[in-house]
Structure 1
Amino acid sequence: MTVAIVTGASTGIGRSVAVALGRRKCHVVVVSRSDDDGNRETLAEVEAAGGSGVQITADVGTSSGVARVFAAADGEPRFLINNAGRNVATPFRHWAEGDWDEMYRTNLRSVALMSQRFVTRLESSGGTATGAIVNVSSIRGLDGASTGDTAAYSAAKAGVISLTGALAKELAPSVTVNCVTPGYVRTAYLAQTSREQRRAWLGSVPIARFIEPHEVADAILFLLDHRALTGANLVIDGGWRMAAA
């Protein structure tokens, strides 16, 4: 039985990844910061897909939260999907110190802390155990893609891309570390934006539609499967970068 941990799994991309792993008969640790109901719904879908799992609410931007997640894991995790994230749009001049700290903790520090514990746990199992980590960034973390109102989020997501490369070098050959960088994905966050904003975003995407969560999940599973790939950043943006250039 393959044990996989998915953070930010109560909705959207994280839920799609968890369910896809369930179809592969994995035991999935479903994690979110505070969404108990969403976690339960995800776990029900994982089990309906043929997998098993456990759900836990924990702040993976803290060492204590990370410890709770790994204590809940039934068996030795082999896959880690660092999907937890949060975006707050605020004019740059209005960003407060706490806002910067929140974006860093949720989007970047969580990736570092979860990956560190994952590797420690993997190494403690002895032998020649192998594993795979996939981190989720954002197009706002790409060079030239940040805006003033997403400055803190963009900086943290750029950090995820950079951290991915550093960990890929450090953890080879036993652990592969890759990144996916989605564009505009049809999630609850997207649904909360105004119709005018969605229309503007859609107009910037050459494929003329938003990315579906399951399409990002497919890319994540691809990276989990291929041990010849490490340090890669797979951008899934529907051609947005091409149009923006």
Structure 2
Amino acid sequence: MTRVAIVTGASSGIGQSAAIQLAQRGAGVILTYHGNESGARDTVATIEKDGGVAVALKLDVGRSATFPAFRDQVVAALRDNWQRDTFDHLVNNAGFGQSAAFEETTEEMFDGLMQALLKGPYFLTQTLLPLLVDGGGIVNVASNSATFAGMESGYSAYGTMKGGLIVLSRYLAKELSGRGIRVNSISPGATRTRIGGNAFELYPEVIPEIAARVALGRLGEPDDIGMVIATLLGEEGRWITAQDIEVSGGYNL
């Protein structure tokens, strides 16, 4: 039976890489997008070009009221494409980046980050959990902004939400262990994605300064992270749970 993974926010960057890497390892993929439908189509096309099967569904992880309807779409996609009523892996990756000095962080900004980065993964996982097989796996994409090494001024709200996601991952690992479900988080460092309004493409002059702070001497690429996600969900990760793995090339080492 073909394994099936759900990857949120897979129209670009880390999510796109994770979806493709999982497909290359034989999994079918249900991927989500919010505003970037063309990117989602690109992800599906890349997977299909290599002989895989992928379905793109629209989802706003900041609107938990839409999750039951999304679950119904997942049920239909599983039935129509894989003749299944369950899936094997969940990657909570969707979100956005936003920075502001602590004194300038508004409640609106705080609530928006909380809805997408913490409440969203919490209740989306809860909504989809009845469809997740026993022995399945979950990876939550956090950030090294929640660690000492990755702390930078301006990310108090963003880092707080990602820190909460790391703690949530540990609790899920504990509570779901009876079903054999493994739950881990990963904390990427600076990675060349569209986060922060596509900042790295708009302001390439910042890249050398960031690379100089990375022990391995460069900015992270989406595949550096996507391959770790696929590995954690594969047989190689079968004895790993309740861990947060920093994937940063040694940022501020």
* TM-score over 0.5 (shorter chain): yes
Range with bigger deviation, 168-177 or 143-152 = 143-152
1:159 and 2:128 equivalent? Answer: no
Q: How far apart are the structure 2 equivalents of 1:68 and 1:148?
A: 38
Which position in structure 2 is the counterpart of 1:122?
A: 132
Q: Contact between 2:200 and 2:206, CA under 8 Å: does it hold in 1?
A: no
Q: How far apart are the structure 1 equivalents of 2:63 and 2:131?
A: 17
Which position in structure 2 is the counterpart of 1:49?
A: 50
Deviations 1:139-171 (A, max 9, x none): 101146434411110100111111111111111
Unaligned runs of 5+ in 2: 79-83
Q: How does 1:188-227 map to 2 (within 5 A)?
A: 188-189=194-195, 190-192=199-201, 194-225=203-234, 226-227=237-238
Which position in structure 2 is the counterpart of 1:232?
A: 243
Q: Contact between 1:77 and 1:118, CA under 8 Å: does it hold in 2?
A: no
Q: How does 1:70-219 map to 2 (within 5 A)?
A: 70-73=71-74, 74=78, 75=84, 76-122=86-132, 129-143=134-148, 145-173=150-178, 174-189=180-195, 190-192=199-201, 194-219=203-228
Query: Aligned residues, how many?
Result: 237
**Letter paired with 2:121:** V
Deviations 1:40-72 (A, max 9, x none): 111111211221121111112333332233222
Q: How far apart are the structure 2 equivalents of 1:228 and 1:214?
A: 23
**Letter paired with 1:114:** L
Range with bigger deviation, 187-196 or 73-82 = 187-196
Q: How far apart are the structure 2 equivalents of 1:61 and 1:175?
A: 25
Q: How far apart are the structure 1 equivalents of 2:181 and 2:144?
A: 25
Q: How far apart are the structure 2 equivalents of 1:24 and 1:68?
A: 29
Unaligned runs of 5+ in 1: 124-128
| CA-CA distance at 1:206 after TM superposition | 1.3
